[in-house]
Amino acid sequence: MDLTWSESEEAFRAEARAWLAQALPAWRDRHGGRPLSGDTAEGFAQHLDWERTLFDAGWAVVSWPVEHGGRGASRWEWLVFEEEYHAAGAPPRVTQNGIFLLAPTVFAFGTPEQQAHVLRRMARGDDRWCQGWSEPDAGSDLASLTSRARRDDERGGWVLEGRKTWTTRGAFCTHLFGLFRSEPGSERHRGLTYLMVPLGLDGVTVRGFGRLDGDEGFAEVTFDGAFLPDDSLPGGPVLGEVGAGWSVAMATTSSERGLTLRSPGRFTATAARLVDLYRQRRDEGRDLDPGLRDRVTQGWMEAEAYRLQTLQTVTDDAEGRPAGAASSFVKIWWSELDVALHETALDILGPDAELDGPWSKGWQFALSGPIYAGTNEIQRNIAAERVLGLPRR
């Protein structure tokens, strides 16, 4: 693994940095200099304006082929862009569930018609996708889901029944992707079909509800005999083969737990802000616990280690060694690192941390990391059984 960036990659970095330096202030000025949380209706619309700014400038999906709205950048250049993006303090991507989770699956399993229609509209923000995995009785144990899709050949489509919940930004999205049980009597991983569903169908009800931090970031989506026509999307709404949705979904969850959702630039930028915070409080003459310096150092080192591990992951992927179940290690790593970085910041701030600032807001979100994308307890089981080969209890 060569850790030296090439001249073209450095040029790519300079171009991205220069564009962010002029585009971000302009976006903030358009919105009164006060960006809102993307997990509120008003904030989501504000952030969607940013998503379209990215697309128009060719930075929305840099590693995608040009015909789908990208610029054909390498995975290495994508990492460079992510580093610059987070270092510049650019906002979280409100279209991330589509771009970072569904899109890799569409590239791998979608037909040319599906790819041509879904990807470019997703990149522009025309269609906003949410993930329909969790159900009231099927969270981390995804295989226990009960939402059903019944084939209706006479009308040419699927009849959907069931309920999805904890759907991130579902109240602000236009489409949902998820698994439905399509073979009556099937159990666990069998008889599931991966569907892409417009949320505007008759029989679909979307109800938003609040999170711990008060934002309206979650939704419950109910399917009450909703009819999903075969021509609802060019190429059809089924991703992969009917009844083989589990293997398709595993490709999505691998992206979620692994590289694409949590690029290292996010954590190295947070670690750099943590170092700055410590120095600022120290220079102000604050009485800081001596142990905080060690925790700041440890957090910074772990963020850098995660970055190096990601570079190794990209190298492995380029040489035909996909992460597979090992992505569970990665998910545990970034989610626990995120909590540790924010908890250290709150301890540095002391009583000031009670204010509604970016660190307290970030900490509240970080707490959900060990839970979403499959709880860390589940990830440890996967890693123990499928990576380390330990016996199932």
DSSP one-letter string for 123-171? HHTSS-EEEE--BTTBSS-GGG---EEEEETTTTEEEEEEEE-S-TTGG
Look at residues 182, 140, 187 and name the one whose alpha carbon lies nearest to residue 162. 182
- Cβ neighbors of 299 (< 8 A, separation 6 or more) are 271, 274, 337, 340, 341, 344
Look at residues 141, 183, 178 and name the one whose alpha carbon lies nearest to residue 163. 178
Task: Using alpha carbons, list the distances in angstroms from residue 49 to 24, 170, 381.
Answer: 12, 18, 41
Question: How far apart (Å, rounded) are the C-alpha atoms in residues 178 and 147?
Answer: 10
Could you tell me the sign of the dihedral formed by the alpha carbons of 64, 123, 368, 83, in that order? positive
Q: What region does 135 belong to: left with phi over 0, alpha with psi -120 to 50, or beta? A: beta
Which one-letter amino acid corresponds to residue 21? A
Question: How far apart (Å, rounded) are the C-alpha atoms in residues 107 and 109?
Answer: 6
> Which residue, chain included where needed, has tokens 């509604």?
356
The pair of three-digit structure tokens given for residue 377, joined into one six-digit string: 């307890």
Per DSSP, helices labelled H in the chain are 7-30, 41-56, 75-87, 96, 103-109, 112-124, 245-257, 264-283, 290-318, 327-349, 358-366, 376-382
The pair of three-digit structure tokens given for residue 48, joined into one six-digit string: 């969607």
The pair of three-digit structure tokens given for residue 192, joined into one six-digit string: 């599931």
Catalytic machinery residues = 256
Half-sphere exposure in the Cβ direction for 374 (13 Å, CA):
25
- The Cβ of residue 187 has, within 10 Å, a number of other Cβ atoms equal to 10
